[in-house]
Chains A and B, each alone.
Chain A
Amino acid sequence: MLNSDPGRRSVRARKFSKGISTVSLAERENARNARLDALEDDGATGEGIVGDSDEEFVIQDSDEELELGVSAAKKRGEKKKGPKRKTRAMLEAERRGPITFASLLEMAGDADGGPAKEAEVMYTNAAVGPPQHSAARKWCSVCGFAAPYKCVRCGSRFCTRKCYAVHTETRCLKFVG
């Protein structure tokens, strides 16, 4: 990304610029997509519960418990005496991980036709395209006001020297946002 034509820069400048790592456009794109994914996160599986297994969330399928209005987990807490036995289906489900919409959509897209494929095509086509009537606006990644400048290293926007200082100190090349 830095310099496609080495002949245009002196050796000294090149040595110096090696210390400044920049981020390629493709990497910026990846970071943007990762952030958009993070915005759809519930926080239940991510950093919300660190080191917890997901299984605690599984509610045992017993009608009486729910009928009594007692929380299933509480109930389970009381009867938690013997080791909990996992059935083969549970282990299988654990191995597979949680079902996501993306995986179901992919499976529907793999179909040779029929309603599944049709639904997948309709779903994909319904997503609205890029904006046509307005250019992307530029906001400061630190304070949120209009930002005329861009960080040369990571491409984040900033508005003033003050915000730039905050940016380099905290977020530059970290892609928190």
Chain B
Amino acid sequence: MGHEPVIVVDNGGSSCKIGLAGQSEPYRMFPNAIGRAKGERQSFVGDQLLSYRDASSLVLKRPFDRGYLVNWDVEKAVWWRAFKSLLQMQPQDCGLLMTEPPFNLPSIQAATLQMVFEEYGFRSFAAMPAQPLSLRAWAAERADLPAAAAGVGVVVDAGFSFTHAVPLCDGRVLWPAVRRINLGGKALTNYLKELVSYRSINMMEETYLVEHIKDTVCFVSPDLKADLASARAGAHRLEYVLPDGVNEQLGHVRQPQPRERGKTSAADKAGREQVLMLNNERFMVPEVLFQPSDIGLQQAGLAQTIMDAVEAAHPDLHPLLYSNVLCTGGSAKCPGFRDRLYKELRPLVPGDIEVGVHMPSDPVLAAWKGASEFGVSPEYSQQAITKAHYDEVGYERLLNISPEAVKNAGPVYYTTSG
């Protein structure tokens, strides 16, 4: 052990990042889902979705529910394709390092262990939460930050299914201090979908497309009051030309064109384009992360979540934790996210404590990069479970769970074997 290649999978709710340990970039990043166009039988697995030409009415089936891996039917298909067709590796010759969400349930871990060793037959396996791995990659990127070098910081993981604030000390997660908002990129996409469907064109069945629109047009407002005022004046108005299915597949943004009341413009008549009008949706959607009560979720916003997490840690750590707040995850890529978070967090933190909100070069790949580094370090061999060990003691002993608890894991696995 220790010399076999290790496959590193950052298994996210939205996208799956896959590659070999020791490399600086993942080999591939693709939707962690199986997709199918409405009314058609053919489905597309994982990376096939990237090259799929028709984004309209694409329905995705995802293996994750509320951020946890529950549907192995889907995940199995995605993984087989990724390991064999993309990486061209035989699991029997490799180790596997994957990320898992915080507070993963033992029943889910049991199903994962069974899958990894019995279905794929990996030689060794380790599951790590993504957040310490992100911090690890960040420490490598910014060695000049004392807190990062010491492995102390708060990782804000604004993911697809939920958002976590995870305080770490010495590279280890302070579990009782971890805080979560039950809101992520998926809810934001669905919220935008709901808004535009009500105000403009019905897009309720175009989740895939709306996600793309969200990534293209949304931004975090630095000053909500001012932006609302300018939105009323039309400063943020944007038109999104929906794909026609012939010339383009994802549509494009264009500046609003002035038109006379009651008359359709020449371009409209010629092209018969369907245009989605966007105005305050552009920043009111990401705004929900900073104040979830906007959509009726009785939870605090991001800044207070971070504060709650830090306050739950030892007071001596507070200055170091606040000095190294690291934003990761797909939702953090929204323009203006970092600045707004700093602006909201600063007034909550005592004045003599320095606040540093940082963003790695790629917030989505941070966890994978850290995992890649971890996969070749000796720590991996120390932490990994080998197949021989698994075969000997089984997952009940490894996870220290009772046979009754294992029954919970049963359905997850056994439905997959048919």
**A, B in one complex:** yes
Seen from chain A, the residues whose Cβ lies within 8 Å of a Cβ on chain B are 32, 35-36, 38-44, 47-49, 56-59, 61, 63, 66-67, 69, 71-74, 77, 87, 89-90, 92-93, 96, 98-102, 104-105, 107-108, 111, 114-116, 119-120, 122-123, 125-134, 136-137, 139, 142-146, 170-171, 176-177
| B85 lies within 8 A of A128 (CB) | no
| A57 lies within 8 A of B61 (CB) | yes
Per-position 1/0 for B254-283, Cβ under 8 A of A:
000000000000000000000000011100
Could you name 27 residue pairs across A and B whose Cβ atoms are closer than 8 Å? A36-B187, A36-B295, A40-B187, A40-B190, A43-B59, A43-B204, A44-B59, A47-B204, A49-B38, A66-B81, A67-B84, A71-B48, A73-B41, A77-B41, A89-B415, A90-B418, A93-B411, A104-B412, A116-B106, A119-B106, A128-B165, A128-B308, A129-B308, A131-B291, A139-B294, A142-B198, A143-B280
User: How many whole Å from B193's CB to the nearest CB in chain A?
Assistant: 9
**Given contact pairs A77-B41, A128-B304, A133-B304, A101 touches B107 in the complex (Cβ within 8 A):** no
Q: How far is the CA of A48 from the CA of B295 in the complex (A)?
A: 23
Chain B residues 125 to 149 lying within 8 A of chain A, measured CB to CB, are none
Q: Which residues on A sit within 8 Å (CB–CB) of B401? A: 114-116
Seen from chain B, the residues whose Cβ lies within 8 Å of a Cβ on chain A are 34, 36, 38, 41-45, 48, 59-62, 65-68, 70-71, 73-74, 76-77, 80-81, 84-85, 102-108, 161, 164-165, 175-176, 178-182, 186-187, 190-191, 194-195, 198-199, 204-205, 207, 228, 231-232, 279-281, 284, 291-301, 304-305, 308, 348, 399-402, 404-405, 408, 411-412, 414-418
How many A-B residue pairs have C-beta atoms within 8 angstroms? Tell me: 234
Q: Which residues on B sit within 8 Å (CB–CB) of A176? A: 194, 198
| B232 lies within 8 A of A126 (CB) | no
Q: Max chain B CB contacts within 10 Å: which of A90, A114, A125, A128?
A: A128
A44 in complex: contacting residue of B60, B107, B292, CB < 8 Å = B60
User: How many whole Å from A38's CB to the nearest CB in chain B?
Assistant: 7
B415 in complex: contacting residue of A40, A56, A93, A116, CB < 8 Å = A93
| B106 lies within 8 A of A108 (CB) | yes
B84 in complex: contacting residue of A66, A93, A101, CB < 8 Å = A66
Q: How far is the CA of A100 from the CA of B296 in the complex (A)?
A: 23
Nearest A residue to B301 via CB reads A131
B34 in complex: contacting residue of A40, A57, A92, CB < 8 Å = A57
**Given contact pairs A71-B44, A133-B304, A120 touches B294 in the complex (Cβ within 8 A):** no
B400 in complex: contacting residue of A87, A115, A127, CB < 8 Å = A115
| A58 lies within 8 A of B73 (CB) | yes
Name the 4 nearest CB pairs between A and B, nearest first.
Answer: A59-B77, A93-B415, A101-B66, A32-B296
Q: Max chain A CB contacts within 10 Å: which of B60, B65, B67?
A: B65
Q: Which residues on B sit within 8 Å (CB–CB) of A73? A: 36, 41-43
Q: How far is the CA of A47 from the CA of B41 in the complex (A)?
A: 17
**Given contact pairs A40-B66, A74-B42, A111-B405, A128 touches B297 in the complex (Cβ within 8 A):** no
| Extra inter-chain contacts (15) besides given A59-B43, A116-B106, CB under 8 Å | A40-B190, A43-B60, A56-B36, A56-B43, A63-B84, A66-B77, A99-B411, A100-B66, A101-B66, A101-B67, A122-B175, A123-B103, A142-B199, A144-B280, A146-B228
Q: How far is the CA of A104 from the CA of B112 in the complex (A)?
A: 14
| B106 lies within 8 A of A129 (CB) | no
| B45 lies within 8 A of A48 (CB) | no
| A89 lies within 8 A of B418 (CB) | yes
Q: Which residues on B sit within 8 Å (CB–CB) of A92? A: 415
A119 in complex: contacting residue of B105, B179, B207, CB < 8 Å = B105
Q: How far is the CA of A104 from the CA of B41 in the complex (A)?
A: 31
| B175 lies within 8 A of A114 (CB) | no
User: How many whole Å from B353's CB to the nearest CB in chain A?
Assistant: 17
